[in-house]
Structure 1
Amino acid sequence: MIRLYGFPLSNYFNKVKFILLEHGIAFEEVAAGFGQDEATLARSPLGKVPYIETDAGPLCESQVIVDYLASAHPDKPIFAADPYQAAKERELATFIDLHLELVARDLYKQAFFGGTVTDYTKSRVEKLLTRHVAGFARIAKFAPYVAGPAFSIADVCAFVSLPLVGLATKAVYGRDFLLDAGIDWKTHGKTIGERPAAQKVTADRLAYMEAQKRG
C-alpha cells in the first residue's frame, strides 16, 4: 500500500491526497512535516512534503507522484486517454504549480502569517504574477473545468492552490490578481468542492487548523 507523508495545510500534499481519494487508490496517510533528519532525507532529499513510499521505494514532488500513480494504475483515468489532451492537463497543472502558486508563495509571510515582505519582493512578485496570470488566462478554459468539459488534474491543482494566490494578492496588494483577470476561482472552487474527495480534503484541513489552534 502507498504511504503518503505530509500534513493537511500543505496544498501539494492535498493535491496528491485528492487524486488518491478521487480515484479510489488505497493509501495510508502518515503525519510528517518538513525535516532534515536522515529518515526524512532518505525519502525526500530536500526534506519537503509530500512524499510517498511505495513497494519499490520512495518518491517526492507532487507532480512526479501523480504521474507515478497514473502509470501504476492505468485503469484509473487520472489523465485523459488522448495524449494531447493529457499533455494539456499537465501543462495547466504545471502552470498553476510553478508559475502562479510558487511565485505567490513569496507573499504568504505577509498575507497569512502576520509578517512583512520587502518592497522589492512585492514589486518583483507583482511583475511576475501579472504576466503569469495573463498567460494562464490564455490557456485555461473553465468550461466548466480548467482544461475544458472534463475534470482533470488541473482542477485539483486549481482547487488547492488558486485560493492561496487570490487571497495572497488581495491581502498584499488590495486586489485579487486572478479575479481581475477574469479567472473566477471562487465559482470553480465551489464546483470542485462538491466532489467527495474535495470535501474530505477540506474537512481534514479545517480539522487540522482547529487542532493547531487548540495547541
Structure 2
Amino acid sequence: MIKLCGFALSNYYNKVKFVLLEHGIPFEEVFVLPSQEDTVLEHSPLGKVPYIQTEHGDLCESQCIVDYLAARFPDKTIFSVDPWEAAKERELIMFVDVHLELTARNLYKEAFFGGTVTEATKGRVEKLLAHHLAGFKRIAEFGPYLRGERFSVADTAGYVSLPLVGMATQTIYGRDFLLDVGIDWKSYVKAINDRPAARRVTEDRKAYIAASRPA
C-alpha cells in the first residue's frame, strides 16, 4: 500500500491526498513534518513533504506523485484520456502551483505565522502576482471548475491553494488579489466541497489545526 507522508496543514500534501481519495486509491497516512534531519532526508532529498513510500521506493514533489499515480493506476483516469485536455489540466496545475501559490508563499511568514516580510519582497510579489493572475484568468474558466463544467485533476490543486493566495494577499495588502481580478474563489471552493474527498481533506485539516492549538 502507498504511504503518504506529510501533515494535514500542507496544501501540497492535501493535493495528493485529494487525488488519492477522489479516485479510491488505497493509502496510509504517515505523519511527517518538514525537516533537515537524516530520518527525513533519506526519503525526501530536500526534507520537504509530501512524499510517498511505495514498494519501489520513495518519491517526492506533489506533481511528480500525481503523475506517478496516473501512470500506475490508468484505470482511475486521473487525467483526461484526451491528450489535449490532459495537457490543459497540467497547464492549470502549473499556474496554480508555481505562478500563483509559490509566488504568494513569500508572504506566508507574515500573513499566517506572525513573522515579518520586507517591503521589497511585498513589492516584488505584488508585481509578479498581478502579472501571473492576468495570465491565469486567460486560461481558467471557473464554470464552475477550472476547465469549465467538468471537475478535473486541476481542481485538486486549485482547491487547496487558491484560498491561500486570496487570504495572504488580503492580509498583507488589504485586498484579495483574486477577487480583484474577478476570481470568486470562495464560490469555487464551495462547489468543490460537494465532493466527499474534498470534505475529508478539509475536515482533516481543520482537525489538525484544532489539535495543534495550545490548551
TM-score (ref. length: structure 1): 0.98
**1:45-194 pair list within 5 angstroms:** 45-194=45-194
The one-letter code sitting in structure 2 at the alignment partner of 1:206 is K
Task: Specify the alignment match of 1:32 in structure 2.
Answer: 32
After TM superposition, the structure 1 stretch with the greater mean CA deviation from structure 2, 59-68 or 31-40, is: 31-40
- How far residue 38 of structure 1 moved from its aligned partner, in angstroms, is 2.1
- CA shift digits 1:43-85 (9 cap, x unpaired): 1100000000011111000000000000000000211110010
- How far residue 149 of structure 1 moved from its aligned partner, in angstroms, is 2.1
After TM superposition, the structure 1 stretch with the greater mean CA deviation from structure 2, 119-128 or 31-40, is: 31-40
- How far residue 158 of structure 1 moved from its aligned partner, in angstroms, is 0.8
- In 2, Cα distance between equivalents of 1:114 and 1:6: 23
Secondary structure class of the residue paired with 2:29: strand
Secondary structure class of the residue paired with 1:131: helix
Q: CA RMSD in A?
A: 0.9
Task: Specify the alignment match of 1:209 in structure 2.
Answer: 209
- In 1, Cα distance between equivalents of 2:19 and 2:129: 27
Secondary structure class of the residue paired with 2:58: strand
- How far residue 151 of structure 1 moved from its aligned partner, in angstroms, is 0.9
The one-letter code sitting in structure 2 at the alignment partner of 1:99 is H
- How far residue 152 of structure 1 moved from its aligned partner, in angstroms, is 1.1
- In 1, Cα distance between equivalents of 2:45 and 2:116: 30
Structure 1: runs of 5 or more not aligned = none
- How far residue 5 of structure 1 moved from its aligned partner, in angstroms, is 0.2
Residue 17 in 1 paired to residue 17 in 2? yes
- CA shift digits 1:152-177 (9 cap, x unpaired): 12111111000000000011101111
- CA shift digits 1:168-188 (9 cap, x unpaired): 001110111111111111100
- How far residue 196 of structure 1 moved from its aligned partner, in angstroms, is 0.4
- How far residue 140 of structure 1 moved from its aligned partner, in angstroms, is 0.3
Identical pairs, percent? 65
The one-letter code sitting in structure 2 at the alignment partner of 1:210 is A
Structure 2: runs of 5 or more not aligned = none
The one-letter code sitting in structure 1 at the alignment partner of 2:138 is R
- In 1, Cα distance between equivalents of 2:160 and 2:206: 13
After TM superposition, the structure 1 stretch with the greater mean CA deviation from structure 2, 32-41 or 2-11, is: 32-41
- How far residue 116 of structure 1 moved from its aligned partner, in angstroms, is 1.6
Secondary structure class of the residue paired with 2:42: helix
- In 1, Cα distance between equivalents of 2:200 and 2:98: 25
- In 2, Cα distance between equivalents of 1:55 and 1:83: 29
Q: Paired residues, what number? A: 215
Give the 4+ runs in structure 1 shifted more than 6 A: none
- In 2, Cα distance between equivalents of 1:201 and 1:5: 15
- In 1, Cα distance between equivalents of 2:61 and 2:112: 24
